[in-house]
Chain A
């Protein structure tokens, strides 16, 4: 599976970057192990695991094709390749990033209101009346429950 090859490469890269940064932290001695020991172990172990995923991904392919279903018997993965199917989660992901950026500036109520309206539209709600009503309900309820009653200092 080429997807597994790519994810293995990504994990290996992650392990390398992590290990490079971890070099800042001293290992010290075995009797007085320093803060660099655990990161070194975890990073090396992830790198080794990534390599093993990579090897399996390149070697297991012919066997799997011949055998039909994969060993786990998992259902074939849904085709998410179609651009329409991928675009709306990506738009929502972008909206979430915007949400976090605007949260300190616009405050909880305004940014959450916008997020819910946009989110329900992206998920297929039609018109404006229902998304707006929903957003109003959710944000006001969350504000009353968390900010007023529980005293969470929402931005």
Chain B
């Protein structure tokens, strides 16, 4: 536990500061999201060593949650998907002249939820890790499979399309050496593909290059940003009082949603808004500029970011693109997250958790006074910003293996990602398929070997059977209900 204070060394404080500032900027900018930004700075963080590097990556991750709300409130443009809901009441509050109060409440709700979820993370992660020590290959296979199926269900848009992207990701993960060693697959004799497709190259392509290409077809929105004076930032006592219950509800809800695979932060913010609409005493005002519509969702998305760290830190299984980048960062620094992380690298584990506390305080201190500066970042025209992003993407992809092949992979992923967006396919499931593909394959093959070829060995244990049944249910149930509904309407 004393390792928590690892986060307080000057180098780690600096890493945390840089990470949270970068994260806030990324959150403010529409387009570039946290996963893409984290992939961009991977080469930089690797040089910092595991603890400082991961602290910086994590700072970007939750800093983006903070920054995303700023532009939602001030310019009605959500910087992140998780802040879309905040535009509804946040922007209307700004129109009413309460922009400062809305920003302050958003920051306070984020801080509160972030801190509470870190406490919960600190308690829960070691417990989950200990329980996971009993997990064999069959359980890992079932859990990863369940995660991917749930992810496809929850990503939004067409379920089949998300599932297809998961599978394409799994297929891409089979490029290179097979996980049990020996056979080199799908490389077409390209030397650069031997070690598998670079995750950094695919991620920077899908989330960086594709965004740049997509931004070119969007009309540049020149929105004037309202200036917020420092003394306008104080919410009234009434606003503070009204914010507290939604904040509390949003925190609990967000943390729980964060444990479930999928775009947890986004879902949590929407669900929180829905709950406020049902239970809040001021539910009639929601949609017209009610502070509850900011406090609840902003707490929920930050708590979800904390909850999402539990599967990563204690099982080694990421279920969001951002935690997938964190995982690949850890692996590059030869830290393997999972049940043994706490035993083998206690400094990294507690250092990162400690940095969450520090980062939350930093974000609060940064965001309140500097909110105007960050809001103005959002008004930098893309024509000056995006070309630089392209070069950073290329550097990040290249430096993964010091290989131009990875730049090719990045460009191919970028063009494919642009086409995917145009055809309503989401890139997030693909990235997670790519990351979890080897986990699936290795655990499946090992489980079969252990069971001496008996397929039943996959569901011989209780937990594995339950998870596989849940995966099957999640896969089949929505299709069945849709079918039933369709036949019912046809008959009617």
A residues bordering B, Cβ < 8 Å? 3-4, 7, 11, 14, 18, 21-22, 25, 29-35, 37-39, 42-43, 45-46, 49-50, 52-53, 56, 63, 72, 74, 77-78, 80, 85-86, 88-89, 92-93, 96-97, 99-100, 103-104, 108, 112, 115-117, 119-120, 122-125, 130-131, 134-135, 138-139, 142, 145-146, 150-155
Contact = CB atoms under 8 A, between A and B. Distances in A.
B220 interface: yes
Given A78-B218, A96-B209, A123-B382, A38 B168 contact: no
B449 A32 contact: yes
B75 interface: no
B256 interface: no
A72 B157 contact: yes
B425 A7 contact: yes
B233 to A, nearest CB: 32
Contact of A93 (B163, B174, B213): B213
B165 to A, nearest CB: 9
Nearest to A24: B185
A149 B414 CA distance: 28
Contacts of B455: 30
A139 B391 contact: yes
A53 B209 contact: no
B386 A56 contact: no
Chain B interface, DSSP helix/strand/loop, else mixed: helix
B445 interface: yes
Interface string B435-457: 00100110011001100111100
Contacts of B99: none
A11 B441 CA distance: 21
Contact of A33 (B164, B216, B408, B449): B449
A49 B163 contact: yes
A116 B386 CA distance: 9
A56 B70 CA distance: 39
B182 interface: yes
B2 interface: no
B407 interface: yes
Closest 9 CB pairs of A and B: A31-B453, A119-B387, A30-B453, A123-B383, A35-B183, A35-B178, A46-B167, A116-B387, A38-B441
B395 A146 contact: yes
Given A80-B217, A150-B43, A115 B395 contact: no
Given A93-B418, A100-B404, A115-B387, A42 B170 contact: yes
B217 A138 contact: no
Interface in B373-409: 381-384, 386-388, 390-392, 394-395, 398-399, 402, 404, 407-408
Contacts of A103: 394, 398, 404, 407
A138 B387 contact: yes
A83 B390 CA distance: 23
A119 B390 contact: yes
B124 interface: no
B204 to A, nearest CB: 12
Residue in B388, B399, B441 with the greatest tally of chain A CB atoms within 10 Å:
B388
Given A31-B453, A123-B387, A100 B44 contact: no
B445 A112 contact: no
A39 B445 contact: no
A154 B440 CA distance: 35
A125 B380 CA distance: 12
B402 A38 contact: no
Given A34-B183, A112-B391, 8 more contacts: A31-B453, A46-B171, A49-B163, A52-B160, A53-B164, A93-B411, A116-B387, A138-B388
A103 B394 CA distance: 10
Contacts of A151: 47
Given A30-B455, A100-B411, A37 B171 contact: no
A87 to B, nearest CB: 10
12 contacts: A3-B423, A4-B423, A31-B452, A35-B178, A35-B183, A38-B441, A78-B217, A103-B398, A123-B216, A123-B387, A146-B43, A152-B395
Nearest to B157: A72
Interface in B324-351: none
A52 B453 CA distance: 31
A7 to B, nearest CB: 5
Contact of A152 (B43, B156, B220, B407): B43
Contact of B390 (A14, A63, A72, A116): A116
A97 B411 contact: yes
B79 to A, nearest CB: 18
Nearest to B406: A100
Contacts of B418: 89, 93
Contact of B171 (A18, A72, A92, A154): A18
B47 A134 contact: no
Interface string B213-243: 1111110100000000000000000000000
Most A CB within 10 A of own CB, among B390, B425, B449: B390
Interface in B190-207: none
Contact of B391 (A25, A89, A115, A131): A115
Contacts of A115: 387, 390-391, 394
B279 to A, nearest CB: 23
B157 A37 contact: no
A42 B167 contact: yes
B138 interface: no
B104 to A, nearest CB: 30
Nearest to A67: B489
B424 interface: yes
B461 interface: no
Contacts of A139: 391
A90 to B, nearest CB: 9
